[in-house]
Amino acid sequence: MASYDNDLVLKEITTGDESGTWGTSTNTNLSLIGEALSFATLACFPSDADDTSTATVGQATSSPARAMYFKVTSTATLSATRTLTISPNTISRVMFIENATTGSQSINISQGSGANVTIASGTAKVVYLDGAGSGAAVVDALTLVDTFVKPSTNVSFTRINVTAEGEIRLEDSSGGEYVSLKAPSTVASNVSFTLPAADGSSGQVIKTDGAGNLGFVSINTPGAAASFTQVDITAEGDLRLQDASGGEYVALEAPATISSSYTLELPAADGSNGQALLTNGSGVLSFGAASATTPASDIIAISAVDGATYSVSGLSFQPSLIVFQAFGGATVTTGSAYFASSHGFATGTGSNQKVMSSRILNSPAVEYGVVTNTGYCYWINNYDGSMNFGSVTAIASDGFTVTAVTTYGTTATLMYTAFP
């Protein structure tokens, strides 16, 4: 006698049975095998309640519940989650089951008292029935995939791998055109981009922080102001500040080679008229009086008072170099003027002797040496061969002081030129 103890509930003919008619049964079995590999739709849930009888695989008869892809619809509109029981509870198989019921409710797929699988409205799952009898269970076969992609439905994934430089295509509403995203042909190492948590403002662009985190920032547009925390101009490019017409510009650029990077910090406020931008040597700029580039020159009249001091002030700089020229006194007695060549004096004779010496003072120290080791500046010569001299005793921020030594009571004129 025939039996139906198999997972497709096919007719199993015993030896010697159905003589002359076994071909009909065999053909029926082949047809049902084809049904088991196909797609079928079945209207279940004749009422808004659990359905335990509709999805039954009949013995040697066509049954939509036998199909590999089983689309479940409903006669009634469901108002809550309902359970569909597939029977008999002894068949074991894998099925694709789609919830296409009316009412936007989930359905539970059951086979016995064991576990069920819940399928949300408009989605499908791959399940297997374990056929364990009254305690049979239904198991989600692909736990990593909750739903299959199908037109006009939402899907959720924890990750999508698009291999071999494939694309993710985002179609327009008509489905005719698309925008695609894909990886470069070669990637040195894996990189992930994290999108901003919220939309930006109008006109903003997406910027990376260099670690894959993206955010919206504002960029400069013609005629609009912009704010940046840093602007990098590479490869000796320049920063161009255009005039009002936009036709001409002033450009700032770095030297062709810099031994090490440095930053210039601008002053916190504008300076006074005529001040210059000065650096402190550490990149901090400030406005101040510029160092004079023009030497200061004038004449000092030296009286015949031994030890008299003559101060020069009002210079716009502290002298670092002073050149003196000495001129002789107004009265000349008989005799020849003599100038010691060992001190670099010029020789000459005659009345009202003029330029007698030029001497240079170097470095602002307390006592300023000139030419000789004595640290004195010689500026006048007596006619008996001896020399009077004086010294610079102090150099200040805006001038200097001269102390005269006139042992012979001779008046003189001293012309100086001070250099910054």
Domain boundaries, the chain: 22-140, 296-419
Per-residue pLDDT tens digits for 312-329: 898 887 777 776 665 544
pLDDT at residue 109 in the model: 97
Check whether 382 has a pLDDT greater than 50.
Answer: no
Check whether 130 has a pLDDT greater than 60.
Answer: yes
What mean pLDDT comes out for the span 47-58? 93
Distance CA 139, CA 163 (A): 30
Percent of residues, the chain, with pLDDT higher than 70:
72
Check whether 375 has a pLDDT greater than 60.
Answer: no
Percent of residues, the chain, with pLDDT higher than 90:
30
pLDDT at residue 408 in the model: 46
Check whether 379 has a pLDDT greater than 60.
Answer: no
Check whether 146 has a pLDDT greater than 80.
Answer: no
Q: Which amino acid is at 304?
A: A
pLDDT at residue 342 in the model: 26
Per-residue pLDDT tens digits for 10-45: 777 778 787 788 788 888 888 888 888 899 999 999
Check whether 339 has a pLDDT greater than 50.
Answer: no
Per-residue pLDDT tens digits for 210-245: 899 999 987 766 666 667 778 888 888 998 888 888
CB 391 within 8 A of CB 402: yes
What confidence tier does 117 reach under pLDDT thresholds 50, 70, 90?
Answer: very high
Contacts of 164 (CB under 8 A, 6+ apart): none
Check whether 209 has a pLDDT greater than 60.
Answer: yes
CA count, 13 A, side-chain hemisphere, 395: 20
What mean pLDDT comes out for the span 187-199? 91
CB 36 within 8 A of CB 68: yes
What confidence tier does 340 reach under pLDDT thresholds 50, 70, 90?
Answer: very low
| HEC string for the chain | CCECCCCCCCCECCCCCCCCCHHHHHHHHHHHHHHHCCEEEEEECCCCCCECCCCECCCCCCCHHHCCEEEEEECCECCCCEEEECECCCCCEEEEEEECCECCCCEEEECCCCCCEEECCCCEEEEEECCCHHHCCEEECCCCCCCCCCCCCCCCCCCCCCCCCCEEEEECCCCCCEEEEECCCCCCCCCCCECCCCCCCCCCEEEECCCCEEEEECCCCCCCCCCCCCCCCCCCCEEEEECCCCCCEEEEECCCCCCCCCCCECCCCCCCCCCEEEECCCCEEEEECCCCCCCEEEEEEECCCCCCEEEECCCCCCCCEEEEEEECCCCCCCCCCCCCHHHCCCCCCCCCCCEEEEEEEECCCCCCCCCCCCCCEEEEECCCCCEEEEEEEEEECCEEEEEEECCCCCCEEEEEEEEC
pLDDT at residue 380 in the model: 38
pLDDT at residue 387 in the model: 42
Distance CA 165, CA 181 (A): 10
Check whether 372 has a pLDDT greater than 60.
Answer: no
CB 287 within 8 A of CB 272: yes
What's the chain's average pLDDT?
76
pLDDT at residue 221 in the model: 65
Per-residue pLDDT tens digits for 348-368: 333 322 233 333 333 332 222
- Greatest mean pLDDT among 110-124, 213-227, 274-288, 377-391 lies in 110-124
Q: Which amino acid is at 81?
A: T
Residues composing the chain: 420
Distance CA 180, CA 317 (A): 70
Check whether 185 has a pLDDT greater than 70.
Answer: yes
| Least confident piece of the model among 51-60, 181-190, 208-217, 220-229 | 220-229
pLDDT at residue 34 in the model: 84
Check whether 406 has a pLDDT greater than 80.
Answer: no
What confidence tier does 392 reach under pLDDT thresholds 50, 70, 90?
Answer: low
